[in-house]
Amino acid sequence: MKAKAILRNARVSPQKARLVADLVRGMDVDEALEVLTFTRKKSADLIKKLVESAVANAEHERERSGDHLDVDDLYVSTIHVDGGAVLKRWRPRAMGRATRVIKRTSHITVELDER
């Protein structure tokens, strides 16, 4: 049984979020949450909250079908980070010129499965 959670338009660049996503891919849920708790990156908090949401989705889906779910059997089967909308801003430069500043966003998807 797969459980899924998606975070859209997260204000972190996809390149930075992929660094943290690569850390937890394939880990058990409790191990992944522990790693994310002590990782000092902005995207670690976002991904931790997303994994917790996917666990809650799995529990809700199992409860709805009348079964019981053992959270210890779940692992992060798939996690991927895609680029989202890009915010384009302008910064003043010397001699009346301007430089474009690109603020990237991410779409983060986490899928959990049972071992």
Full 3-state SS string of 51-75: HHHHHHHHHHHHHHHCCCCCHHHEE
Q: Find out whether 57 and 81 touch, Cβ atoms under 8 Å.
A: no
Q: pLDDT class for 32, splitting at 50, 70, 90?
A: very high
* Residue ranges making up the domain that contains 23: 3-114
- What average pLDDT does range 87-97 have in this prediction? 97
Above 90 in pLDDT, residue 42? yes
In terms of pTM, does the model score above 0.75? Answer: yes
CA 56 to chain centre: 15
Q: How many domains does the chain have?
A: 1
Band of pLDDT at residue 66, cut at 50, 70 and 90: confident
CATH number at residue 109: 3.90.470.10
